[in-house]
Amino acid sequence: MTNVLGHHHISMYAKDAQENADFYRNVLGLRLVKKSVNQDNPYMYHLFYGDRTGSPGTELTFFEIPNAGKSHRGTNEIAKIGLLVPDEEALQYWKERLQQFHISYQEETLYDKQTIVSFQDPDDLELFFIVNGEAPIPEFWTPWEQSPVPEHFQILGMGPVVLHVREPELTAQVLTDIFRYKAVLATDEWMIFRTEPDTLFGEIVVRKKEGALTRPGRGYVHHLAVRASDDRALEDIAAKVKEAGYRMKEIVDRFYFKSIYFRDRNGIMFEVATDGPGFTRDEDVKHLGETLALPPFLEEKRAEIETVLKPIE
């Protein structure tokens, strides 16, 4: 039976592409691996950050929406994104680095267990650093040699992603029945799900929260994408989604990967995306993210698109 392999990427709204790039490259030390556009609205940037090659599991992506207002936080949302760092020494490094850039942070505990360092990006997106600990560094991660952050302290990828929902059992059905996650913790407030192997990579944390629904704006998380190893695995998962009665878009070819999209019954948007072909399909690894990359079907509109988009330094 086909299982997902953990996180693929996660996609958010940002108000200003330049401010976004300055933060994720210069402060967090990630590489801008692909400067592209929203394929459904090509006059909007879609920026991808990650490790040296933008490996699945390391990718934070952003749609630029210049007129975006403030998000109103509530329930039925993807609320917080964990960023894995190697050890306690790295966690201390990041506290000092945040202070250096005058970014406030808080030390908290995640589901009353592990210490995390929480902070916000320029759009008030909720992020936190968490220690990978004794777990092995995943084989797909490659450090970026030009990062302003020393290799030992670089972000390894996406750790726990926290969802706030009114009815946790409805989201649990997707994670266990379709994605084949296993539940490793269940209380009245928290449900924790992991893929195999049993590590923080790919962890999804579901927290029960009542109240008004989230209203999207800057810093809003649009969707969480999980990994399917190849086209066959994606087709198998798509069949399970349909069989379970979820409304699903048919498989979409995004040029760098193929994917499906659907919402669970709490309204959480999930994407399932293939690992390949990847971001080196149309750019040499040494020059990823340096110019505007467009899928072939948008090339004829390049001049018009470049006229609309404000260049990113």
For every residue of 23-49, DSSP letters joined together read IIIIIS--EEEEEEEETTEEEEEEEEE
C-beta separation of 244 from 259 below 8 A: no
Position 276 confidence tier, pLDDT thresholds 50, 70, 90: very high
C-beta separation of 162 from 80 below 8 A: yes
Q: Is the pLDDT of residue 201 over 80?
A: yes
For 30-56, what is the mean pLDDT?
97
Burial class from Cβ neighbours inside 10 Å (0-12, 13-18, 19+) for residue 41 reads exposed
Q: How far is the C-alpha of 200 from the C-alpha of 110, rounded, in Å?
A: 12
Q: Which amino acid is at 62?
A: F
C-beta separation of 202 from 57 below 8 A: yes
Q: What H or E segment, with its residue span, contains residue 233? A: helix 231-243
Per residue in 246-267, pLDDT tens?
Answer: 999 899 999 999 999 999 999 9
Q: How far is the C-alpha of 290 from the C-alpha of 138, rounded, in Å?
A: 26
Mean confidence (pLDDT) of the chain? 95
For 255-281, what is the mean pLDDT?
97
Q: How far is the C-alpha of 141 from the C-alpha of 152, rounded, in Å?
A: 12
Per residue in 47-75, pLDDT tens?
Answer: 999 999 999 999 999 999 999 999 999 99
Q: How far is the C-alpha of 4 from the C-alpha of 15, rounded, in Å?
A: 32
- pLDDT at residue 156, as a whole number: 96
Position 1 confidence tier, pLDDT thresholds 50, 70, 90: low
Q: Is 0.95 topped by the overall pTM?
A: yes
Cis ω for the linkage preceding 197 (within 30 of 0): yes
Q: State how far the alpha carbon of 289 is from the alpha carbons of 149, 158, 256, in Å.
A: 18, 20, 13
Q: Is the pLDDT of residue 2 over 80?
A: no
C-beta separation of 98 from 118 below 8 A: no
Per residue in 220-236, pLDDT tens?
Answer: 999 999 999 899 999 99
C-beta separation of 60 from 123 below 8 A: no
Q: How far is the C-alpha of 313 from the C-alpha of 305, rounded, in Å?
A: 17
CB hemisphere CA count around 8 (13 angstroms): 26
292-306 burial, b at 16+ Cβ within 10 Å, e below that, comes to: bbbbeebeeeeeebe
Q: Is the pLDDT of residue 197 over 80?
A: no
Per residue in 89-122, pLDDT tens?
Answer: 999 999 999 999 999 999 999 887 789 999 999 9
121 Cα distance to chain centroid: 14
Position 199 confidence tier, pLDDT thresholds 50, 70, 90: confident
Per residue in 119-168, pLDDT tens?
Answer: 999 999 999 999 998 778 877 899 999 999 999 999 999 999 999 999 99
Phi, psi of 77 (to 5 degrees): -145, 160
For 240-244, what is the mean pLDDT?
97
> What share of residues in the chain are helix, strand, coil (percent, to 5)?
20, 35, 40
- pLDDT at residue 111, as a whole number: 80
Residue with tokens 């349909």: 242
